[in-house]
Amino acid sequence: MAEGKRPLPKPTPETQHFWEGAKAGQLKLQSCNECSKTYFPPRPFCPGCGSRDVKVVNASGKAKLHSYVIHARPAPGFDPPYAIAVVELAEGPRMMTNIVGCPQTPEALQLDMDLEVTFVKQTDDIALPMFKPAGT
Amino acid sequence: MKQKSVAVVGAAETTELGKIPGMSQIQLHADAALNAMKDCGLKPKDIDGIATAGETPQALAQYLGITPTYADGTAVGGCSFMLHVRHAAAAINEGLCKTVLITHGESGKSRVAPTPRPPYPDSLAGQFEAPYGVFGPPTMFTIPVMRYLKKYNITQEQLAMVAVVQREWAAKNPRATFRDPITVDDVLNSRMIAYPFRILMCCLVTDGGGALILTSAERAKDFPTKPVYIVGTGESVEGPMISQMEDFTSSKAFRVSGKKAFEEAGIAHKDVDHMMIYDAFAHLPLYGLEDLGFCKPGEAAAFIGERHSAPGGKLPINTNGGGLSYMHSGMYGMYALQESVRQMRGIAPAQIPGAKISVCHGVGGMFAASGTIIFSNEAP
Ligand SMILES: [Zn+2]
C-alpha cells in the first residue's frame, strides 16, 4: 500500500461549485455569456474577455489524453508507477488528472486516446475527477 | 533599455559548489556576494541597490550590512536573476541607484536553513494539480514533453542527446559535478524518474550560490574587471500550473521574453556566439532554441544531434555543462548568467575563442516565467 496520504483539495468560494459537482458525479466547467469561451480552472469571470457574466455548465465528461508522465518513484498516497496526465476535454479546456482502469504503461497510454470522466471518492466531501478509457 | 548603458562589473560564484553542509542558505548568498565584491574591489557600503530571490532583499540587506535605495525581491523561480538584471539596468538608468548587487544562494542538497515552500491545498495548483500525485519538478516540468515528442516525431534517443552533448562541455570544466563522458545508451539505461525522463535527463541537486554587481557603463570603465555590457533584455510570465500551459510544444513566456531581448539588442541570430539555455531537464534547450527563433519548431533536436551546440559547433550552448552536469541548486539561472559573463570576459574554462555576444535565457517554475539577457564584451 502507498505510504502517506494523497493531498486533497481545499475548496475556495470560487471553486466550491466544482467540488460540489464532483461529489454529485458531474464535471463542472464555466462558460462566458459574452464571448462564449468555456474555461477551467474555476473563477467568477471570463479569462478570455474579463466579463463577469459567466455561468456554470456541465461538461460532457469526454476527453482525449493530451500528455503525461509515469512517475516511477513513491509519492504520498501513490504506489509507483503511476501516470500523471493532462487531458483535453471535449469542450476545450485541459485539466490534470490520473488515468484509471488501464495499465500505467507507455503501451497502454497512447496520446489522443478517448477517455471519459469518472469520480473517485476520497472523503465525504471530496471526489476527484479522474479519467478511464472510453467505453470501459 | 538603452543598449550597453549598463554593465556587469562584478561576478562570482560561491567558493565551493556541490555539497556545502557547512553553510546555510543566506550564508551562501553572502559568500557569493563577498566574492563578487572582491572581484570588482567594492565593499558592502559601496552597494546602494540589491536584488535577490529565495531570501528577501530585507534579509540580505541586514545580513550583509547594506542600506539600499533600491530593492528588488522579484521571485519567479530560477530565472528571477535574469529579471533582476533587467530591472537593475532600468533602475540604474533611471537614477534610482548606482551599484546593484544581485545574489543567489541555495542549500539545494544539504537543506541548511532553506526557504520552505509549503503546498497550499486551497491554491489553484493545490486543488487541481497536487491531488494527482505531482511531486516536484520531475513530475511537472516534464509533463508537456510526450506531446512535443509526438507532434514533431522526436525520439527519446534525440532527447538523450541533449544530456550527452552537455556532458562533453562539462568534461572541460574542472568545477563541474559530473565530468565523465556518457552515451545515449547510458542516458536511456539510467534510472527511470518519470517516464520518459531518466535520471541523466534531469538536473543535479547541489548547494551553491552566485552574485553579480552592475553599474552604469560610464562608471564601469573605472573598475578592475573587463565590463560585460547588457545589450538586450526580456521577461515574461505565463502561469504556475503546468496543466494550463497554453501550448505544450512551445513556451509563451520564452517566446515573449526572447523576442523582446532580441528587439532591444537589435541583433540577428547569426550574430550570437554563445548561448546559455537554462536546462533543468533535457527538453529545455529544445524549447529554448525553437522559441527564441534559432530553430524552426520541431527542428532543435536535429540541430543538437548534428552537434551545432557541441564543442566545435557553430552555436555553443551551456558551455559550463549546464544544470544537467555542472550544478543545479534549484534556481539555476544565476549560474547561467555567471557562465555568460565568464565567456564575455574571456575566462571560461571552455572559452569560445573571440566570442562577442552571449544570449542567456532562463526559465522560472515549470515554464511559469522567463527572462532573457543578451551580453556583449564590446564597449559602446
Ligand atoms: Zn468572455
pLDDT in tens, B125-158: 999 999 999 989 999 999 999 999 999 999 999 9
How remote is the CA of residue A123 from the centroid of ligand 1, in Å? Answer: 34
ipTM: 0.97
Distance from CA of A19 to the nearest CA of B (A): 10
Locate B378 and state its grid cell. Answer: 564590446
Q: Flag if A96 and B128 touch (Cβ within 8 Å).
A: yes
Q: Could you tell me which CATH class the domain B6-114+204-376 is placed in?
A: alpha beta
- Which pLDDT does position A136 carry in this prediction? 87
Chain A residue with the nearest C-alpha to that of B242:
A96
pLDDT in tens, B214-256: 999 999 999 999 999 999 999 999 999 999 999 999 999 999 9
Radius of gyration of chain B (CA): 19
Cβ of residue B188 closer than 8 Å to a chain A Cβ: no
Indicate the angle between helix axes B156-170 and B145-152, nearest 10 degrees.
Answer: 110
Q: Flag if B248 and A66 touch (Cβ within 8 Å).
A: yes
pLDDT in tens, A25-66: 999 999 999 999 999 999 999 999 999 999 999 999 999 999
Q: Flag if B195 and A69 touch (Cβ within 8 Å).
A: yes
Instruction: Tell me the C-alpha distance between B339 and A23, whole Å.
Output: 52
- Which pLDDT does position A24 carry in this prediction? 98
- Which pLDDT does position B235 carry in this prediction? 98
Q: Flag if B195 and A81 touch (Cβ within 8 Å).
A: yes
Domain boundary assignment for chain B: 6-114+204-376
Using pLDDT thresholds of 50, 70 and 90, give the confidence band for residue A1.
low
SS3 content of chain A, % helix, strand, coil (to 5): 5, 40, 55
Domain boundary assignment for chain A: 16-133
- With a CB cutoff of 8 Å and minimum separation 6, the contacts of B20 are B14, B28, B107, B110, B207, B208
CB count, 10 Å around CB of B54?
A: 25
Mean pLDDT within B312-316: 98
Mean pLDDT within B92-103: 98
pLDDT in tens, B59-71: 999 999 999 999 9
Distances, alpha carbon B191 to alpha carbons A84, B121, B141, B145, B171, in Å: 19, 31, 18, 18, 22
Cβ of residue B141 closer than 8 Å to a chain A Cβ: no
Whether the pLDDT of residue B183 is over 70: the answer is yes
